[in-house]
């Protein structure tokens, strides 16, 4: 994983168009529109959609969010998967596709790392709570 220097100024000469509030607003809209469920999008493509660059996005997540974009997006996808299984009764076996993760085993691994249970176990518990 690449390290981003903590001493990069808010507006580096290469990124003079960077406006932190605009980026924050763009990210909030991106989340509210649930664009994080799109599959096969590179960070560069997402940065472009957000009106910034990969470098600025990486800096923002490291220095302002204290995480990586990848980790943050995985978290959003898992939250959405949990919601889909709990509220819309989506089967654990297909929920990964609906949240933008093509590889089922990778999704299951990520889901378990975040929640402590597999998607199937989560779905069974969610249905059992009704």
Residue spans of the domains in the chain: they are: 18-71, 75-128
For 57-94, how does the pLDDT look when each residue is reduced to its tens digit (9 = 90+)? 999 999 999 999 999 999 999 999 999 999 999 999 99
pLDDT in tens, 92-108: 999 999 999 999 999 99
User: What's residue 18's pLDDT?
Assistant: 74
Contact (CB, 8 A) for 69 and 43: yes
The Cα–Cα gap between 73 and 36 comes to 6
Confidence of residue 130 (pLDDT cuts 50, 70, 90): low
pLDDT at residue 16, as a whole number: 52
pTM, rounded to two decimals: 0.84
Its CATH class, for the domain covering 75-128, is: mainly alpha
């Amino acid at each position: 994983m690449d390290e981003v220097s903590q001493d990069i100024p808010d507006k580096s000469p290469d990124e003079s168009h960077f406006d932190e509030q605009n980026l924050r607003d763009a990210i909030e809209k991106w989340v509210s529109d649930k664009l994080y469920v799109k599959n096969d999008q590179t960070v560069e493509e997402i940065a472009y959609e957000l009106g910034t660059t990969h470098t600025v996005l990486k800096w923002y997540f490291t220095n302002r969010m204290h995480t990586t974009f990848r980790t943050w997006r995985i978290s959003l996808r898992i939250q959405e998967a949990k919601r889909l299984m709990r509220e819309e009764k989506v089967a654990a076996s297909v929920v990964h596709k609906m949240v933008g993760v093509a590889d089922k085993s990778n999704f299951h691994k990520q889901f378990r790392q975040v929640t402590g249970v597999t998607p199937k176990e989560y779905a069974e518990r969610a249905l059992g709570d009704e």
